[in-house]
Structure 1
Amino acid sequence: MTTPLFPGGVALSDLAVYDWLASDGTCGGSPHVHTASSEGYLVSAGSGRVQTLSRDGAADYSLTPGEVLWFSPGTVHRLMNESNLALTVVMQNSGLPEAGDAVLTFPAAVLDDPEAYAAAARLPAGREEERAAAARVRRDLAVAGYLELRDEMERNDRALAAFHDRAARLVRHRVREWQQLWESTVAAETERTRRQFVALSRGDRGIMADAAVVRAEPNPGPRAFGMCGRLATWQGF
């Protein structure tokens, strides 16, 4: 073992939440759901809120420095920036939440058309200004669909289930790719720990013989345009 394998089971990013004004008078990111992974927020600076939709209905949580909030798969969440909100985001399954298992809350007609969804979710290559403009259009469409979904949930107790079904249909063609990523990272790390338990039960040092420290290097270039804000990430995370 030349590097610790723990990062194979998680991903870490530094998120500066968008301060773009939305149609309902709030600032923030694109509402979305994760189909397979949990995600956690540690508030590092500023203040804001996160709105959620789950089996318990609609909820609203304040976010101030030092607070931690976790989301299980299927929880629709929308970050709202009130004053320079910044988060450390911890993601399950080797970064899968940001890398693919998320579905944005576009209106139902877009979710039901895979080609339309892909076109609406995709950001163009090019200059920062062009990508920022496209990310804002994407956010606005997701907010529109989120507000529709929230209103529909008040009238129809099957509304969230219908959204989950649409999300599952959109991602099913990627599951094999995700399984391969999971096997090579999360499952490999779990097996490493199992073997270490066996070694320790015999009184053996096991992988402690290969102790290592690794400084994570930041990925080069400007912050990426994520779903909820500008993302700084590190190699190996």
Structure 2
Amino acid sequence: MTTFPGGTAVTDLTVYDWPGPDGLPGGSAHVHLVCTEGYVVLEGRGWLQTLGADGFAETPLTPGTVAWFAPGVVHRLVNDGNLRILVVMQNAGLPEAGDAVLTFPPEHLTDGARYRASATLQADDPAGGARRRKDLAVDGFLRLRSGGPQALAEFYARAAALVGDGLPGWRERWRDGPLAATTATGDQLDHLAAGDVHHLHDGRLTVLTAPPTRGYGMCGRLATFPQHQEFDRQNATST
């Protein structure tokens, strides 16, 4: 088994078309603290709203658009119609495994218990919970936009405090994913320089299959690919 190239991960995202408090259909606004995330637009149209050190911006999204943003860029997807995106995530999918803080209003960010109560979906109504969560995050995002740099700085501080307990696990995922992939490349370069090609004999094909159902994510319905999956060589064909 091998990890996805570069220790990254991918998700097939169908963006929500539910209208938010400002009337715009789309997903929840949120931020990542250590991960860069990229979007490859597969179909449909929409907008990427961002808020960061450079202020607020809107970027049009059409099929073929590729856009990415670094940690600290608050982002929100707006769906103008059938918006579907391939999401490429740093650190082996950490953005969907902890590195995301929703832009809830400040009163929902005071401690972990209060935040989790607002962010966790109820098993008996995941769609309703996802919609309520999204509206709450958009409400907080609109406040951030109007609050200026000080409001954004305060949000960053609250977000960092909320994720503190998870940092050891994040470090482990980083170590076993992108750091291991980068280290392996260095080793392979050393082997090639010495005329050693043994690692080429260890190459294998890995095929990932998406789950048959989509979950309710922050921005839309998610088809999340597993990090590892062995390829069934009996069903392989060569071309």
- Measured against the shorter chain, the TM-score band is over 0.9
The match for 2:13 is 15
1:57-101 deviation line (CA, Å, top 9, x unaligned): 000010000001001000000000001100000000000011110
The match for 1:107 is 105
Is this contact kept in 1: 2:26–2:78, CA < 8 A? yes
Q: Distance in 1 between matches of 2:6 and 2:38?
A: 16
1:188 is matched with which residue: 170, 180, 191? 180
Question: After the TM superposition, which of the residue ranges 31-40 and 183-192 deviates more from structure 2?
Answer: 183-192
Q: Could you tell me the percent identity over the aligned residues?
A: 49
Alignment partner of 1:48 is 2:46? yes
Is this contact kept in 1: 2:3–2:227, CA < 8 A? no
Alignment partner of 1:197 is 2:189? yes
Structure 1 residue matching 2:80: 3-state secondary structure: strand
2:221 is matched with which residue: 224, 230, 236? 230
Q: Counterpart amino acid of 1:235? A: P
Per-residue deviation at 1:113? Answer: 2.5
Alignment partner of 1:4 is 2:38? no
Is this contact kept in 2: 1:200–1:206, CA < 8 A? no
Per-residue deviation at 1:233? Answer: 1.8
Structure 1 residue matching 2:43: 3-state secondary structure: strand
The match for 2:67 is 69
Question: After the TM superposition, which of the residue ranges 169-178 and 208-217 deviates more from structure 2?
Answer: 208-217
Q: Counterpart amino acid of 1:141? A: L
Taking structure 1 as the reference length, the TM-score comes to 0.93
Q: Counterpart amino acid of 1:144? A: D
Structure 2 residue matching 1:53: 3-state secondary structure: strand
Structure 2 residue matching 1:36: 3-state secondary structure: coil
The match for 1:165 is 157
Question: After the TM superposition, which of the residue ranges 8-17 and 51-60 deviates more from structure 2?
Answer: 8-17
Per-residue deviation at 1:8? Answer: 6.6
Q: Distance in 2 between matches of 1:206 and 1:102?
A: 40
The match for 2:82 is 84
Root-mean-square deviation (CA, aligned residues, Å) is 1.3
Q: Distance in 2 between matches of 1:144 and 1:185?
A: 35
Is this contact kept in 2: 1:224–1:232, CA < 8 A? yes
The match for 1:216 is 208
1:36 is matched with which residue: 26, 34, 37? 34
Q: How many residues align?
A: 228
Structure 2 runs not aligned, ≥5 long = 229-239
Structure 1 residue matching 2:76: 3-state secondary structure: strand
Structure 1 residue matching 2:118: 3-state secondary structure: helix
Q: Distance in 1 between matches of 2:51 and 2:111?
A: 23
Structure 1 residue matching 2:164: 3-state secondary structure: helix
Structure 1 runs not aligned, ≥5 long = none
Is this contact kept in 1: 2:29–2:76, CA < 8 A? yes
Per-residue deviation at 1:7? Answer: 4.4
1:149 is matched with which residue: 131, 144, 155? 144
The match for 1:98 is 96
Alignment partner of 1:136 is 2:131? yes
Q: Counterpart amino acid of 1:202? A: A
Q: Distance in 2 between matches of 1:51 and 1:98?
A: 19
Per-residue deviation at 1:36? Answer: 0.7
Per-residue deviation at 1:185? Answer: 1.8
1:4-30 deviation line (CA, Å, top 9, x unaligned): 334471110100000001111100000
Question: After the TM superposition, which of the residue ranges 134-143 and 158-167 deviates more from structure 2?
Answer: 158-167
